[in-house]
Chains A and B, each alone.
Chain A
Amino acid sequence: MKGRLFLFVLLIAIVLPFIVVAGVSIGESKTITFPPTEFSLRWYSVLFSEPEWLSAMGISLLIAFSAAMISVSVALVVNYVLWRMNTRFSRFTFALGLGPFMLPPIILALGASLFWAEVGWYGRIEATIISHGIFLVTLPLVIIARGFSNLTDDIVEAATIMGASPWQLFITIVLPLITPYLLTGFVLVAILSFNEYLVANMISGFIVETLPIKIFNNVRYGYSPVVASASMFFVAVTVAALLLIARSTDLLALLGAPKKS
């Protein structure tokens, strides 16, 4: 019983800030006040009609989608090679892919910023896309590895004995079985990239203004309730994407919990 009470208090602490932001976002007032006295959706209409907010949203979505493509492709290749060969080199490549999540993002961000400046891509959206794709690769790498470890030898052996080429084996057996893992990895990278601030800002924040960068700049230099509606937009997209994963896969098992009994 005490445990439940504790969880309830935690739930309040997690959700309360967002309730207040939601309240601010549907208020009529031009300043940030809570509770709202009059309700209106004007801050949402500003968010979805002003070109600068729309462009930030578009840029963020483009980066998130492309970065997720890169991330999942690299993670798939690394896992496939590891599964086929299992050499020391392939294990090392896998370990290398775990690296970005172990380092504080500021180090990655500064390194990437210097690197892209030297290459001459500083301030280009491609630079942000590639760096997001590489720095977030750890997540799909680990998730897809779970998928490969579920592939049993007998299926593979059966297919091989029946004369499947490695390519046929991959297309007809491996790919269908790991698709849920690929999708989950894709969605998670897309969400994280969509929400990422530091790396995007260091690489090309002046020119490529993503939604988090725009919100942060707004908060730092005086802000209006549009920021609240933009934040709620973020919460909605993030939660919706996660619910989507939860619907299509066994999310708990995917995180490593024991399977449904």
Chain B
Amino acid sequence: MTGRSNGAYPVNSFVVRILGLTAFGILSVFFLLPLAYMVVVSFYKADPMAFYQVAFTWENYQKYFSSFYLNVTLRTLWSTALSAVVVVVVVLAFTAMLTIVELSRKWQLFWVILLLSMMCLSEVIVGFSWLILLSESAGIPRLLGALGFWDDPRSLSPSFGAMIIGLVTLGFSVVSLVLYPQLAGRDKSVEEAARTLGTPPYLVPFYVTLPIFRQSLIALTLTMFVYLLGVFVMPVMLGRPSDWTMTVMISDKALGDANLPLGAALAVVMLIITGALLLLSLYLSRKRTV
């Protein structure tokens, strides 16, 4: 913030304060309060007739720690971890952006608009388009069948692989857009020095650029993890029921079985996991600046 009120001009502080309080109030009521209320509901008793009964019980959390949901959580963690790794650590986006920032401004704009569209487009649409592309009647299986590579073409979804493709598609655009300004504005002198000193040009990204961005990439991986943890549509559309993640379970408990307290308890567990990961990510990015 450059222009702040250090006596340069009179602060009509009353009006500004009221405005500030209003904004804070709105955010608290519609963002914090629902979360707090969700924590409260997670201690209520389930009641199939009336959403829930006011009570105080650890029952929902006990249910959660029974094997079933624990398994779901582990599987969720595993599959999202996998996708986060696929997205960031395999450095798809990183490599792509390294090339994109070297393109002319016109092509950069093209890619940015493409990636922004991908980021903004509904999961429903992206999932649907992959569903069609992997389907027996319209997609890759049909093409392979027609070309004679596959005798008995069958739909490739729902499957674990299809779900991962969906998650990677979602994650890729977000990671690329976060990396874009960092890579476009980076100081290239170190890379140039490495090249002058005789590092083969194709090794420079691995020996120089990647290590420089290491911490930022780790923080990004964690953020991506949180992001993919919350994806709902892809598992339902492209995955098998056995691939369904915690997000799907929460939604099913809340909407399908009308067991809101259990859904809330699951969401609270997820909130705690998310919080821990975010703190870790914050810690890592703090370290970088020191």
B11 an interface residue at 8 Å Cβ cutoff?
Answer: yes
Mask of B36-59 contacts with A, CB within 8 angstroms, 1/0: 011001000000000100000000
Asked whether B3 lies within 8 Å of A153 as measured between CB atoms, the reply is yes
Kindly identify which residue among A10, A103, A153, A255 contacts B2, using a CB–CB cutoff of 8 Å. Answer: A153
If A85-B20, A215-B124 touch, whether A17 touches B129 (CB-CB below 8 Å) is: yes
For A179, the chain B residues whose CB sits under 8 A away are none
**How many angstroms between the C-alpha atoms of A194 and B102 in the bound complex?**
33
For A246, the chain B residues whose CB sits under 8 A away are 109, 113
If A21-B132, A134-B26, A157-B8 touch, whether A255 touches B180 (CB-CB below 8 Å) is: yes
For B109, the chain A residues whose CB sits under 8 A away are 246, 251-252
B122 an interface residue at 8 Å Cβ cutoff?
Answer: yes
A135 nearest CB neighbor, chain B only = B31
**How many angstroms between the C-alpha atoms of A149 and B237 in the bound complex?**
43
B23 an interface residue at 8 Å Cβ cutoff?
Answer: yes
* 5 cross-chain pairs, A with B, having the tightest CB-CB distances, nearest first: A104-B230, A256-B181, A17-B129, A111-B34, A160-B9
A interface residues, Cβ below 8 angstroms from B: 2-4, 6-7, 10-11, 14, 16-18, 20-21, 23-24, 31-34, 74, 77-78, 80-87, 89-90, 92-93, 96-97, 99-100, 102-115, 117-118, 130-131, 134-135, 137, 148-149, 151-153, 156-157, 160, 165-166, 169, 188, 191-192, 195-198, 201-202, 205, 212, 215-216, 219-220, 227-228, 231, 234-235, 238-239, 242-243, 246, 251-252, 255-258, 260
B64 an interface residue at 8 Å Cβ cutoff?
Answer: no
If A33-B138, A96-B31, A216-B124 touch, whether A197 touches B232 (CB-CB below 8 Å) is: yes
Asked whether A160 lies within 8 Å of B8 as measured between CB atoms, the reply is yes
Q: A104-B230, A246-B109 are in contact. List 5 more A-B contacts (CB 8 A).
A: A20-B138, A93-B23, A106-B232, A108-B31, A115-B33
Asked whether A216 lies within 8 Å of B4 as measured between CB atoms, the reply is no
Kindly identify which residue among B123, B184, B227 contacts A257, using a CB–CB cutoff of 8 Å. Answer: B184
For A92, the chain B residues whose CB sits under 8 A away are 24
A164 nearest CB neighbor, chain B only = B9
Question: Chain B contact residues: over half helix, strand or loop, or mixed?
Answer: helix
For A110, the chain B residues whose CB sits under 8 A away are 38, 250-251, 254, 263-264, 267
**How many angstroms between the C-alpha atoms of A153 and B9 in the bound complex?**
10
A5 nearest CB neighbor, chain B only = B99
Asked whether B4 lies within 8 Å of A106 as measured between CB atoms, the reply is no
**7 pairs of residues in contact across A and B, judged by CB atoms under 8 Å:** A20-B133, A84-B4, A106-B250, A117-B51, A169-B9, A243-B113, A252-B109
